[in-house]
Homo-oligomer: A and B are copies of this chain.
Amino acid sequence: MTDVRPPPLPDGQWSRQDAVVDAHRLDRSGWQPEGRPLGVAFAHSADDVRAVLRHASRYGIPVTVRGAGTGLAGGAAAPDGALILDLHRMNHIRELSRTDQVAVVEPGVITDDLDRAARAVGLTYAPDPASSAISTIGGNIATNAGGLRCAKYGVTRESVLGLEVVLADGEIIRTGQRSVKGVAGYDLTSLFVGSEGTLGVVVGATLRLRPAPVGTVTLAAFFDSFGTAVDAVTGIAAAGIVVAMAELLDGPTVRAVDAATGGNLALRGETLLLVQTDGPGAGREGDAAEEILRGSARDVQRSADERTTRQLLAARRAALPSLERLGRVLIEDIAVPRSQLARAAARVAEIGADTGVQIFTIAHAADGNLHPIIVVGRPDVDGPGSGSAAIPAAAWYAAERIFRTALELGGTVTGEHGIGVLKRQWLGTELGETNLHLQRRLRRVFDPAGILAPGHGP
């Protein structure tokens, strides 16, 4: 371990203690870098972030930025010698304007906390990654997080109007604006969104809020096959209905939920589709969607009240915990054009059969985003999160075939989780060499010394 000066921070905001470092060195990807990070800097303000980055630039120290550590691609897994810059204490909602329908927040604000504050004045923060109860806005911005409602409300990028960003050398810039429109200069806001900590550190964000949706209608439909369910989603879109949510659980997932909860959903069908409409047309859209679903589903249940809705959505919420009982889960994240969704799911099932690897598929059907979930080992034997070394070769091979499938079907190897470390080798394949090299040159403009997000990004 090299002997380095501590970053110039107030007392108590820098630690090299093993317990502190260990508590801040990983994310939820399961990725465990070799070696040992340098220490953890806790920023309380943009000035703290500037001080840390100036220090890191000066001494050439690699920096891994961290919010809540809920990322699934290894973006916050700190490698050997890295300074961990933790932003979770920068968690103030600086402003929430009803008239402008914007919030100005620090990066450590928990996504659901912002949404709750917005709802108190009749608004909502629309992006809803599954981790919203625990993930931070800064992390959502770093990964351009998606969620369940993106087909209607867009991904995180569509809700970010402007940013305050500290660059690698400690300089600070503002991007974007507070209005919906604004075209002065390049759209650096969108460039920072999804850049996974490689271009700068977001220390403030101006976010778009929307009116809180009213009159939700939820439909749970059971189908004989995944393909029939996808056809129903296509039919709903073709009827001009923009659903707020269209979640698909394949047969293996439904059965795993049954096994975990003691339920018998699988008796009602091989695939479960949960559709939600919202807004002033929710009732009418719900009626039209229900009619389409009844055309091919074995069973359709409808709810417009909160309690029944919660019951209908329970299976979706139970899916991941149910799979985690079976072993260690690797959540893949591909997106394909909607027309290729059924084919992608069928290929994933084939890959599971071919490789002997257990794969369960959940999909955000309306935007073509599939999460094939690979389950390996057994938690009672291997322990949970037992490190990348514990993942059998067959699982890696299955994952690679899943990525290849996504690209063959005109899709992407990551719809909403990010490239991180885990998919880095696929970036060039998806983007092409010219694009990849352009991205590398672009990165160097922002971070000439290469201190940000070591080992990640293009």
Contact = CB atoms under 8 A, between A and B. Distances in A.
A438 B442 CA distance: 10
A158 B155 contact: no
B185 A193 contact: no
Interface string A184-225: 111110110111000100000000001110100000000000
A150 B417 contact: no
Copies assembled:
2
A157 to B, nearest CB: 7
Contacts of A442: 186, 442, 445
Contact of A237 (B146, B211, B281): B211
A28 interface: no
Contacts of A240: 122, 211-212, 214
A181 B335 contact: yes
A176 B398 CA distance: 25
A414 interface: yes
Contacts of A413: 184
A102 to B, nearest CB: 7
Contact of A157 (B187, B239, B281, B443): B187
Interface string A327-346: 00000000111110000000
B411 A177 contact: yes
A242 interface: yes
A241 interface: yes
Interface stretch (A2-10, A93-101, A130-138, A354-362): A93-101
A179 B338 contact: yes
Given A184-B431, A185-B436, 18 more contacts: A99-B338, A150-B181, A151-B180, A157-B190, A178-B337, A178-B411, A179-B367, A179-B412, A181-B364, A182-B412, A183-B418, A185-B427, A186-B443, A187-B193, A211-B237, A241-B280, A280-B280, A280-B281
19 contacts: A99-B339, A144-B183, A146-B181, A150-B180, A171-B434, A179-B335, A183-B415, A184-B423, A184-B427, A185-B430, A186-B199, A187-B195, A188-B438, A188-B439, A211-B242, A212-B240, A280-B285, A281-B281, A442-B445
